[in-house]
Amino acid sequence: MADSKPGLGQALASVREWHVVALAALVRVALVCWAEYQDAHMAVKYTDIDYVVFTDAARFVASGQSPYKRSTYRYSPLLAYLVLPNIWLHPAWGKALFSASDLAAAWLMSYLLTRTGTHRSHRTLAIAAWLFNPYTLPISTRGSCDVLSVLLLLSLLACLLRGRIIASGALYGLAVHFRIYPVIYGPAIVLFLLRRSLDLTSEGHAVQGSRQGPAERGLPRRGAGGEDGEGDFQSPLQTPTGSPVKLEAKDEAGGAGGAGVALGPRQATAGRGRSLAGPLVELLRLPPSQAAAAALPAAAFAATSAAVFLLLGLLFYGLYGREFLNEAFVHHLTRKDPRHNFSPYYYPIYLGYGSTADAGAHGAGVGPSTGPGSGAVGLLQRSWARLGPVLGAESWRLALLPQAAAVGALAAAFHEDLPSAWLLQTWAFVALNKVVTAQYFVWYLSLLPLALPALAAQRAVPARALAAAGGGWVAAQLHWLAWAYQLEMRGRSVHVALWAAGLAFLGANAAALALLCRALRPALRRRGAGAGPGGDGGGAREGEEESKARGGAGAGAGGGGGVATFLEASLALARAPPEGAITRAAGAAVAAAAKKEQ
């Protein structure tokens, strides 16, 4: 066993990210080709029914008509435009486009992880988790468009990381127009921009930045054949060899030294006093002129995103009228589904239909077809009948309240690390939604790879606990699916048992979220990595020892080096000098080294 670790480390170090991407591309080409064969020769089709809907909508657009003439097309017209080559070139065009978007998303993930100081071996594993995840692997090749939203959101993260406010606002407006669910990220983005602006304009950062040399200010460097690979673009939170640097807090007197991104007084107290107030309260304490300057990036982002969203909405409203609004937006806000799904609201909605007429209008097996039953079923039906007049005719709308509370609380707690915030917000939003299908899981599983390096680096939650939570999540799904099979395929009336299985799945989601919240808290991550105040640095030393044991390959892969938060990486990029200054500093360093050797 002692020799297995170095062997594993060397194996991971030998695998490059492009190897994973190339293999994923080949697999997707094979699956798209297999889809053509299976659809033509087998009774069970490989292609998702939604892809047929997209193609039919594109056919209407190609003939000069509205895409909404195709029933159940409830997306932006942009999607129909994107798959027009399905009509003009080949029906598999859309699948090729979505599969290529998978690969582009992997590249963006690699960029974001590099910028937060993630070692290459962890980046490779994270990309593999995205490209070969059994939940996400077949999605694009079957014709689901969800990866386009993922691509827009990852592009948005890249722009926010670089501080490109106008581009970020435009991308966010486009993302919300394309699929409405990213609207839940708005509070976290605004809080992140406020925090970033407050930190950049604070006097402590300005003074400390002027005292730091290039190696200490998180300058981006090009790889020179080191561990990170020839030509790789290194993170501003990496050493020249490509290993993640330790995030150490410097005090006013210039205490704890060491290369890396030195944290100013405001960052050094993160997780102690800052999180109690929050950027909004801190903004209100500033003089009006300073508060206005600090709020300007967030205001510009909000104005740009609103403008793009409204312009697109007005454009397509002019083309397709109220039908566009009803199908692209209103339907998703008011949707309720009496058919069985993972939602904890499924059975109350099912009972709410309550008549044979409704059942016939919504399909077989939908809505109770008999009067109040006996036992547990009858008790539930009678209880819901009594609660209905008290809560209102459509009491399922109360689902918005726990969703809003969860999204707001997570935004306040995790806005310093936007990928983690979005992951947790999306997971909570989907788990508490009034309609939950397996397709929605892709929304948060696409963000999970960005959190994997931080989960590996943290010490707050044992790895076994996280693995157990993941296993419980999968087991709860399988339990639900067993009851769904009894209802759908065998025609048994097991609605109560199926609803109970849905509640068990909600419990599994809650358990997983609770552990992830503790593991991904920015302050706990810094303390767990030995990088923040009060840390003993043990995690960093363990990472260094593991690096030596592996012969230098995979430094920091053990998670001890400390993975920077999204905010820390963004601040490091903002404080970095222009590219010309980097070149001059690098030349001066080379000249000094040559002179010293002489």
- Residues 529-541 have a mean pLDDT of 38
- Residues 51-79 have a mean pLDDT of 92
The predicted model scores a pTM of 0.77
Which pLDDT band, with edges at 50, 70 and 90, does 164 fall under? Answer: very high
**Which tops the pLDDT comparison, 438 or 56?**
56
pLDDT at residue number 229: 38
Examine the pLDDT at 449 and tell me if it is beyond 80.
yes
d(CA 178, CA 79): 8
- Residues 25-30 have a mean pLDDT of 94
- Nearest Cα to 104, choosing from 151, 153, 141? 151
- Nearest Cα to 246, choosing from 467, 525, 456? 525
**Mean pLDDT score of the chain:** 75
Of all residues in the chain, what percent carry a pLDDT higher than 70?
66
Examine the pLDDT at 153 and tell me if it is beyond 90.
yes
- Nearest Cα to 179, choosing from 153, 154, 158? 153
Examine the pLDDT at 111 and tell me if it is beyond 90.
yes
* Domain spans in the chain, listed from the N-terminal domain onward: 145-205+280-334, 339-352+396-527+565-576
pLDDT at residue number 440: 87
pLDDT in tens, 500-525: 898 999 999 999 999 999 999 865 55
Amino acid at 223: G
Lowest mean pLDDT among 12-21, 112-121, 212-221, 414-423: 212-221
pLDDT at residue number 596: 62
Which pLDDT band, with edges at 50, 70 and 90, does 541 fall under? Answer: very low
Of all residues in the chain, what percent carry a pLDDT higher than 90?
37
Examine the pLDDT at 542 and tell me if it is beyond 70.
no
**Which tops the pLDDT comparison, 383 or 567?**
567
Could you give the maximum distance between any two Cα atoms of the chain, in Å? 96
pLDDT in tens, 205-258: 443 444 444 333 333 333 333 334 333 333 444 443 344 434 443 333 333 333
Question: 441: part of which helix (H) or strand (E)?
Answer: helix 441-445
pLDDT at residue number 285: 83
Which among 162-171, 280-289, 540-549 has the top mean pLDDT?
A: 162-171
Instruction: Specify the DSSP class assigned to residue 255.
Output: -
Which pLDDT band, with edges at 50, 70 and 90, does 71 fall under? Answer: confident
pLDDT at residue number 439: 83
Examine the pLDDT at 391 and tell me if it is beyond 70.
no
Collect all residues with Cβ–Cβ distance below 8 Å to 405 and sequence separation of at least 6.
none
Measured torsion, CA atoms of residues 15, 21, 24, 25, in degrees rounded to the nearest 10: -140
Which pLDDT band, with edges at 50, 70 and 90, does 67 fall under? Answer: very high
Which pLDDT band, with edges at 50, 70 and 90, does 13 fall under? Answer: low
CB 527 within 8 Å of CB 458: no
Which pLDDT band, with edges at 50, 70 and 90, does 309 fall under? Answer: very high
d(CA 219, CA 226): 16
- Residues 130-155 have a mean pLDDT of 90
d(CA 568, CA 529): 15
Measured torsion, CA atoms of residues 555, 561, 564, 569, in degrees rounded to the nearest 10: -50
Positions of E strands within 242-332: none
pLDDT at residue number 170: 96
Q: How many residues does the chain have?
A: 598
CB 488 within 8 Å of CB 457: no
Burial of 559 per CB tally in 10 Å (0-12, 13-18, 19+): buried
pLDDT at residue number 7: 53
3-class DSSP string for 159-196: HHHHCCHHHHHHHHHHHHHHCCHHHHHHHHHHHHHHHH
Collect all residues with Cβ–Cβ distance below 8 Å to 427 and sequence separation of at least 6.
444, 509, 512, 513, 516
Examine the pLDDT at 570 and tell me if it is beyond 80.
yes
CB 149 within 8 Å of CB 158: no
Question: Vertex 105, ends 474 and 247: CA angle to 5°?
Answer: 85
**Which tops the pLDDT comparison, 583 or 84?**
84
